[in-house]
Chains A and B, each alone.
Chain A
């Protein structure tokens, strides 16, 4: 039983990060209607930016997080400004944008390997991991950091989307972008802001996962973007909160399943969950019983 409890704690940790990543991914999707696969590349790059500041330059953990967030926000918004916006202006179909985004993911992945090498590197604060024990359950300081960050960000984002004008504007634009413009909202700027916020979240997540696992490599973004996609779909498309819920559920199931299923089946298991959810709840676990707007 205590083993299961331990897996559940691991599940909360993984689920929290998946929730953050899926949330950023869904925010970008909601605002721009782009299936932003390159998000995985932004994730990888920000982890390596954090690594450079923390391990290579030894500037400390706070500077490393800042570097990861700023890098992610910058790369994310640049991809929007230089790729998606011109495509949108040119009337390119969302499908083409999706494939281009996938191309950017591949380019970033390979460039990361060119700059930082193709071997995994260790992301840690120099072996200073503290382990906490609660009865039979163990957690590390990195795991506590993850849960803490997630709780704080969840509250901050809830306030942002529910009670701040900028958040309401982004929700409005995700709902009906043409109407948003007629009402007087600067749609382009709002999309850029969504990319900044969504990418910033993935920058934080990359650092959290990197510190938790202890190693990062150039390929890390490919798997995570698949997880974010699965999370967003099982949660419910077009709803930021539902995507976060989907991420949390996915992380929980993945980790509890390790109790009975070998971890190498995690990816297959995730897609099995996706298929089962879609069979029984076509609109996702937390989605409305109606097609997502604009799809």
Chain B
């Protein structure tokens, strides 16, 4: 079905809300270890595409494959467990939990999740809990917010919250990260920091599917770019190919000459 290095395949996805066709016949592949950007104006259907991939929406037609397994129609928590970790455009954190608990909440498949095991887990459960603590601490440390580990998430600064939501994403151990404008609202220094981190992640075996409005970041970071307009894909290719694509220039980049 999918070629060896294809991690995600969208096949003829369609979704409409009432009379509005939000996504129409959308197909593209995401190759493992790459950064693929999904670009397009407001209402192009990018976020709907994300919602379809993560199971928050069920497609009217079409299929989604993660590796060779179909994931369309699965509920969100099963898609997450299958290996797709999703970040939100707006900051979404467990505000009333500590930074460390935010990260730990996303670590998959620990024994402590069953009530029976929680009651009779004993030593093993403690070890597991300590390992989860260590993993969360390491992630927070790498994100330079270790000093805030015990603070409630809502007490963190905006930039720290952005980093924390990335930490939560990484804790989920998904192979594929779906990032929806991860750099929005960040200072230029932090944007650079985020770009470096994303590039390093693909070096460590992660794959990133990115929604991004900032064309500079898209051109700098992407291995592959998919351009959407009014629910359909109008172009895809390497960044420089897309930049030189006449249709894209007209409809998205606003270059008319």
Contacts and interface: CB of A to CB of B under 8 A. Distances in A.
Interface of A: 160, 163-166, 168-169, 171-172, 175-176, 179-187, 193, 196-197, 293
A172 B118 contact: no
Contacts of B80: 181-184
A160 B75 CA distance: 27
Interface string B29-65: 0000000000000000000000000101000000000
B81 interface: yes
A165 B125 CA distance: 9
A179 B165 CA distance: 11
A60 to B, nearest CB: 23
Contacts of B93: 179
Contact of A175 (B75, B96, B106, B128): B96
B112 interface: yes
29 contacts: A163-B129, A164-B112, A165-B104, A165-B110, A165-B113, A165-B129, A166-B114, A166-B115, A169-B113, A172-B101, A172-B102, A175-B96, A176-B92, A176-B95, A179-B88, A179-B92, A180-B105, A181-B75, A181-B77, A181-B80, A183-B77, A183-B168, A183-B172, A184-B80, A184-B172, A186-B77, A193-B115, A197-B115, A293-B96
* Ranked 7 nearest A-B pairs via Cβ: A184-B80, A165-B112, A172-B105, A175-B94, A181-B76, A183-B106, A172-B94
B208 to A, nearest CB: 17
Given A163-B129, A166-B112, A185 B96 contact: no
A287 to B, nearest CB: 12
A185 B105 contact: yes
Contact of A182 (B76, B108, B114, B132): B76
A55 B160 CA distance: 60
Interface string B80-99: 11000010100011111100
A23 to B, nearest CB: 17
Interface of B: 54, 56, 75-77, 80-81, 86, 88, 92-97, 101-102, 104-106, 108, 110, 112-115, 118, 125, 128-129, 132, 168, 172
Nearest to B125: A164
Contacts of A164: 112, 118, 125, 129
Contacts of A180: 94, 105
A171 B110 CA distance: 17
B101 A168 contact: yes
B96 A171 contact: yes
Nearest to A184: B80
Contact of B97 (A160, A168, A185): A168
Contact of B105 (A160, A168, A186): A168
A209 B86 CA distance: 48
B86 A175 contact: no
A163 B86 CA distance: 26
B115 A196 contact: yes
Contacts of B94: 171-172, 175-176, 179-180
A294 to B, nearest CB: 11
Contacts of B77: 181-187
B224 to A, nearest CB: 25
Given A171-B96, A293-B96, A182 B86 contact: yes
A177 to B, nearest CB: 11
A193 B116 CA distance: 10
Contacts of A175: 94-97
Given A179-B88, A181-B80, A193-B115, 18 more contacts: A164-B112, A164-B125, A165-B110, A165-B112, A165-B118, A166-B113, A166-B114, A171-B96, A171-B97, A172-B94, A176-B94, A176-B95, A181-B75, A182-B76, A182-B77, A184-B77, A185-B77, A293-B95
